[in-house]
């Protein structure tokens, strides 16, 4: 098979929208508003912005640069950049070996096995193993992200069809528990969500991801602003704005600062092969600083707007903000359905549609990492690689979907979004 010329984004606009699509996801709409409210509102936002600017942005620039320079997936990119075996990779492998030994001694056998495997892989393959881990991390995240994406799609249908007409937490909870404890329904929606994600990649970079990002990202912002307008004009909305934004430095703990740092990585999709993969389709003449700057502005704006869409309505309708799934799947359906005027289910539908769009564009970036890896490493055409990635992630996700009967069953989800 001859070498196919690597595609490029059509220009900076398409690239920025696609990276922003990856960055804006469940983390922005689901996690950020809540951790902000909990950790001192405006005070937390300041720390978060510092983390984004001084840690997130430089790392994002490095990832773009590695991708654009090598024009390869992370595994091949690190292989190329290592120039033979660098002492750093031996050092890293030794560090992991030390970590494995400590883990075994402290009884954390699973962590020990993982660290030992990683140490061995780096001894054997050098930094390209690190690139491979980032791709595996993306696939692992996608396997639960698409399960939740499936829940959200189901909620879009339920909301618009008026079947989510709950106005109290008890009934909202029973709708949620009924759904997540029916494996067949959860698995079906997970596979549908993943199929839509794969369809977004089908046309390639320009006619696939880029085209879809250009349609979906503006739609997401339109929906977000529409929900905000409704939320902010409800009587009593100001209490929600106060919870979300009024700075309270006494609530900002060391843990809160760490949370801001961790979230800045998660929200910008860093360390997960994505910016390297997307950067590998970037033309050499594009200004990386400009692109990273815009991605950060758009991502932060989406997170702030999400808080303004959620909390004013929650407080105005007499609920308390809750963490994680309770907020999204219990408090919010009840909140929107209480909005007077008879269109509560439509507001709930808009909200879940917006969440589904945010999740889809992030999922597309995750799946693309696997696809680009297969295309580059095995010199296969793109479409079979999309099908293979779909099947791999689909099967893995099914395992977790089948086992989920409650929120606590997914430790990965809890640690990143809960
Ligand atoms: N950035 C996405 C969010 O905020 C999540 C994500 C993480 C997507 C890593 C891709 C890679 O939800």
Which pLDDT tens digit goes with each residue over 130-185? 999 999 999 988 988 999 999 999 999 999 998 888 888 889 988 988 888 788 88
CB 370 within 8 A of CB 392: yes
Candidate from 24-38, 194-208, 371-385, 404-418 with smallest mean pLDDT: 404-418
In this prediction, residue 38 carries a pLDDT of 83
Q: What does the pLDDT read at residue 251?
A: 86
pLDDT digits (tens, 9 = 90+) for 285-319: 889 999 999 999 999 999 999 999 999 999 999 88
Taking 90 as the threshold, does the pLDDT of residue 272 lie above it? no
Q: What is the pLDDT of residues 86-143, one digit of tens each?
A: 888 899 999 999 999 999 999 888 899 999 999 999 999 999 999 999 999 999 889 8
Residue 181 three-state SS: coil
| Angstrom distances, CA of residue 184 to CA of 146, 159, 356, 410 | 15, 20, 20, 17
pLDDT in tens, 352-410: 999 999 999 999 999 999 999 999 999 999 999 999 999 999 988 887 666 554 445 44
Give the separation between CA 401 and CA 403, rounded to whole angstroms. 5
Confidence at residue 286, expressed as pLDDT on a 0 to 100 scale: 87
Vertex 170 angle, CA 169 and 174, to 5°: 110
C-alpha separations of 14 from 4, 72, 212, 291, 297 in Å:
22, 19, 10, 10, 16
How far is 366 from 357, CA to CA, in rounded Å? 14
The predicted model gives 263-271 an average pLDDT of 94
Residue 20 confidence (pLDDT) above 90: yes
Radius of gyration of the chain from its Cα atoms, rounded to whole angstroms: 21
Q: Per-residue pLDDT for 328 more than 90?
A: no
Closest CA to ligand 1's atom 7 = 269
Q: How far is the CA of 168 from the centre of ligand 1 (A)?
A: 31
Which of 19, 25, 63, 393 maximizes ligand 1 atoms within 8 Å of its Cβ, making it the mutation to test the pocket? 25
Percent of the chain with pLDDT over 90: 65
**How far apart, in whole angstroms, are the C-alpha atoms of residue 159 and residue 332?**
11
Which residue's C-alpha comes closest to atom 11 of ligand 1?
269
Q: Return the closest-CA partner of residue 319 out of 340, 305, 307, 336.
A: 336
Ligand 1 centroid to residue 347 C-alpha, Å: 25
Identify which of 109, 191, 152, 134 has the alpha carbon closest to the alpha carbon of residue 396: 191
Phi, psi of 81 (to 5 degrees): -80, -15
Q: How confident is the model at residue 3 (pLDDT cuts 50, 70, 90)?
A: low
Kindly list the protein residues whose Cβ atom lies closer than 6 A to any atom of ligand 1: 22-23, 25-28, 141, 266-267, 269, 272, 274, 362, 365-366
Residue 75 corresponds to which tokens in the numbers above? 């595994």
Span 324-349, mean pLDDT?
A: 86
Best mutation site among 20, 21, 60, 267 for ligand 1 pocket (most ligand atoms within 8 Å of CB)? 267
Residue 234 is classified by DSSP as S
Q: 215 alpha carbon to ligand 1 midpoint, in Å?
A: 19
What confidence tier does 34 reach under pLDDT thresholds 50, 70, 90? confident
């Amino acid at each position: 098979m001859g070498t196919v010329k690597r595609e490029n984004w059509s220009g900076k606009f398409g690239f920025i929208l696609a990276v922003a699509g990856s960055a804006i996801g469940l983390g922005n709409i689901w996690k950020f508003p809540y951790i902000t409210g909990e950790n001192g509102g405006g005070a937390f936002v300041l720390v978060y912005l510092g983390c984004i600017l001084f840690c997130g942005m430089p790392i994002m620039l490095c990832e773009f640069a590695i991708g654009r320079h090598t024009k390869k997936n992370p595994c091949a990119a690190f292989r190329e950049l290592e120039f033979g075996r660098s002492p750093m990779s031996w050092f890293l492998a030794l560090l992991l070996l030390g970590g494995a030994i400590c883990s075994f001694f402290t009884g954390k056998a699973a962590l020990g096995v993982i660290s030992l495997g990683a140490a061995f892989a780096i001894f054997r393959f050098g930094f390209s193993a690190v690139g491979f881990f980032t791709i595996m991390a993306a696939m692992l995240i996608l396997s639960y992200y698409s399960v939740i994406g499936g829940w959200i799609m189901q909620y879009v249908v339920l909301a618009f069809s008026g079947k989510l007409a709950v106005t109290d937490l008890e009934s909202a909870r029973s709708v949620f528990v009924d759904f997540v404890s029916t494996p067949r329904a959860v698995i079906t929606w997970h596979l549908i969500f993943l199929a839509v994600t794969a369809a977004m990649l089908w046309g390639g970079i320009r006619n696939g991801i880029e085209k879809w990002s250009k349609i979906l990202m503006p739609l997401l912002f339109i929906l977000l602003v529409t929900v905000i307008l409704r939320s902010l004009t409800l009587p009593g909305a100001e209490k929600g704005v106060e919870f979300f934004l009024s700075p309270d430095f006494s609530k900002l703990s060391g843990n809160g600062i760490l949370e801001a740092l961790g979230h800045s990585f998660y929200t910008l999709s860093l360390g997960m092969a994505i910016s390297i993969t997307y950067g590998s389709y970037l033309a050499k003449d594009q200004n990386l600083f400009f692109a990273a700057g815009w991605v950060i502005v758009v991502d932060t704006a989406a997170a702030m707007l999400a808080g303004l869409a959620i909390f004013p309505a929650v407080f105005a309708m007499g609920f308390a903000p809750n963490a994680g799934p309770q907020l999204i799947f219990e408090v919010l359906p009840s909140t929107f359905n209480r909005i007077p005027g008879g269109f509560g289910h439509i507001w709930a539908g808009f909200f879940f549609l917006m969440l589904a769009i945010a999740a889809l564009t992030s999922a597309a970036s995750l799946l693309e990492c696997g696809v680009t890896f297969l295309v580059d490493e095995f010199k296969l055409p793109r479409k079979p690689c999309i099908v293979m990635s779909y099947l791999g992630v689909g099967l893995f996700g099914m395992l977790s979907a089948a086992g989920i009967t409650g929120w606590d069953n997914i430790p990965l989800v809890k640690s990143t979004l809960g």
